[in-house]
């Protein structure tokens, strides 16, 4: 029948599923870029936050430690390199520590005219030495090792600081400093503090050094005999306890009476070390134990 009109059938509107909407977002390049930017920004913020936190904790801990030792106000810095990277690599090339200098200034008859700073990777000290030279000092104190002190002495000679005293700790009390300084004239003015007794004054020092040098040529260092004795004091306590368990051998440490290279070693009631004169009797325990002393020098 031509007069009748049949309406066209219409399908109901299709519902978009949530997962389809998500897929559509990931098909949109702009959305992907925005997501990447957000993720990177969050990661960068976390790194910055971690860096600030690590610097604050590490700097505070270092300053408190040095203040305790130096008994002075201290300012510490880890340099421009990210501290998180330094912690991961285990290398701290730009660490610097500055004290207020109160303890130095109180030294009788001494006046601090200048303070300069460097690091253990430096080889060029001309700039800081030039600054020091301008103050016309009687002496320079360097708190570091021979690897820097040697080149520093050479550069002092180049600047004409040949009569200036050069003080330092036991880090520059080495035979190597003569080689590292290439025999520079300021080498004659080096004065260094060395901890402990000389080998000649140790009960078994000279004989032990001969055995040590024979077995480990050119390896001797200033604290070698002390490290050696400390190790064998522990071994002796383990032997007497017949155990490597700290709970069992530490009480034996308190009863130590050990004839060492550096001295006869014992501890008083407060567990502080004390020396026993070589003439005093020494009791040893020679029973067999699983720790071998066959490599002992």
> Scanning the structure block, which residue is given the tokens 């060492």?
260
- How many angstroms from the chain centroid is the CA of residue 293? 31
Do 113-195 and 199-276 fold alike per CATH? yes
Using an 8 Å Cβ cutoff, are 168 and 140 in contact?
no
Task: Render pLDDT for 123-158 as a digit per residue (tens, 0 to 9).
Answer: 999 999 999 999 999 999 998 889 999 999 999 999
Which residues are within 8 A (CB) of 230 and not within 5 positions of it... i.e. 6 or more apart?
Answer: none
Task: Render pLDDT for 84-97 as a digit per residue (tens, 0 to 9).
Answer: 887 788 777 777 77
Q: What are the sequence ranges of the domains in the chain?
A: 30-99, 113-195, 199-276
Measured distance CA(70)–CA(40) in Å, rounded: 44
Buried/exposed code over 150-171 (b: 16+ C-beta within 10 A; e: otherwise): bbbbbbbbeeebeebebebebb
Q: Are strands 165-168 and 190-192 parallel, antiparallel or unpaired?
A: parallel
pLDDT band at 163 (very low <50, low <70, confident <90, very high): very high
113-195: CATH, from 3.40.50.2300, 2.40.10.10, 3.30.930.10, 3.30.1330.30: 3.40.50.2300
What pLDDT is recorded for position 13? 55
Torsion of CA 80, 93, 130, 180, to 10 degrees: -170
Q: What is the DSSP string of 157-195?
A: HHTT--SSEEEE-GGG-SSHHHHHTTT-GGGGGEEE---
pLDDT band at 279 (very low <50, low <70, confident <90, very high): very low
pLDDT band at 60 (very low <50, low <70, confident <90, very high): confident
Mean pLDDT of the chain: 77
- Choose the weakest-confidence range: 42-51, 162-171, 185-194, 211-220: 42-51
What pLDDT is recorded for position 11? 54
Measured distance CA(159)–CA(152) in Å, rounded: 11
Is the whole-model pTM more than 0.75?
Answer: no
Residue 105 has pLDDT above 60, yes or no: no
User: In 10 A of CB 137, how many CB atoms?
Assistant: 16
Helix, strand, or coil (residue 273):
strand
Q: Residue 58 to residues 35, 41, 51, 93, 105: CA-CA distances in angstroms?
A: 34, 25, 10, 15, 28
pLDDT band at 294 (very low <50, low <70, confident <90, very high): very low
Structure letter (DSSP) for residue 101:
-
Using an 8 Å Cβ cutoff, are 76 and 55 in contact?
no
270 vs 280: which has the higher pLDDT: 270
> Scanning the structure block, which residue is given the tokens 């066959």?
294
Provide CATH code, domain 199-276: 3.40.50.2300
Q: Both ends of the chain: CA-CA distance in Å? A: 122
What pLDDT is recorded for position 295? 39
Which residues are within 8 A (CB) of 165 and not within 5 positions of it... i.e. 6 or more apart?
Answer: 138, 139, 140, 189, 191
Question: Mean pLDDT: which of 22-26, 228-232, 278-282 is highest?
Answer: 228-232
């Amino acid at each position: 029948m031509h007069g009748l009109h049949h309406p066209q059938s219409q399908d109901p509107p299709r519902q978009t599923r949530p997962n389809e909407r998500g897929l559509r977002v990931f098909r949109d390049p702009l959305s992907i870029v925005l997501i990447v930017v957000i993720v990177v920004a969050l990661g960068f913020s976390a790194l910055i936050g971690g860096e600030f936190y690590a610097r604050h904790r590490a700097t505070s801990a270092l300053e408190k430690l040095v203040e305790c030792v130096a008994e002075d106000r201290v300012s510490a810095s880890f340099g421009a390199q990210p501290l998180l990277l330094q912690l991961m690599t285990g290398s701290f090339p730009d660490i610097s520590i500055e004290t207020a200098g109160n303890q130095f200034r109180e030294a009788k008859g001494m006046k601090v005219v200048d303070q300069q700073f460097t690091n253990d990777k430096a080889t060029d000290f001309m700039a800081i030495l030039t600054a020091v030279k301008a103050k016309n000092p009687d002496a320079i104190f360097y708190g570091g090792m021979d690897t820097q002190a040697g080149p520093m002495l050479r550069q002092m000679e180049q600047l004409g600081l040949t009569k200036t005293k050069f003080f330092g700790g036991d880090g520059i009390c080495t035979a190597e400093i003569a080689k590292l300084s290439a025999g520079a004239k300021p080498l004659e003015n080096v004065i260094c503090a060395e901890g402990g007794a000389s080998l000649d004054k140790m009960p078994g020092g000279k004989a032990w050094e001969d055995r040590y040098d024979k077995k480990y040529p050119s390896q001797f260092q200033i604290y070698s005999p002390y490290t050696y004795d400390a190790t064998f004091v522990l071994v002796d306590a383990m032997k007497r306890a017949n155990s490597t368990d700290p709970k069992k051998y530490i009480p034996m440490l308190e009863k130590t009476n050990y004839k060492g290279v550096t001295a006869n070693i014992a501890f008083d009631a407060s567990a502080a070390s004390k020396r026993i004169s070589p003439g005093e009797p020494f009791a040893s325990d020679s029973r067999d134990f699983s720790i071998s002393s066959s490599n002992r020098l």
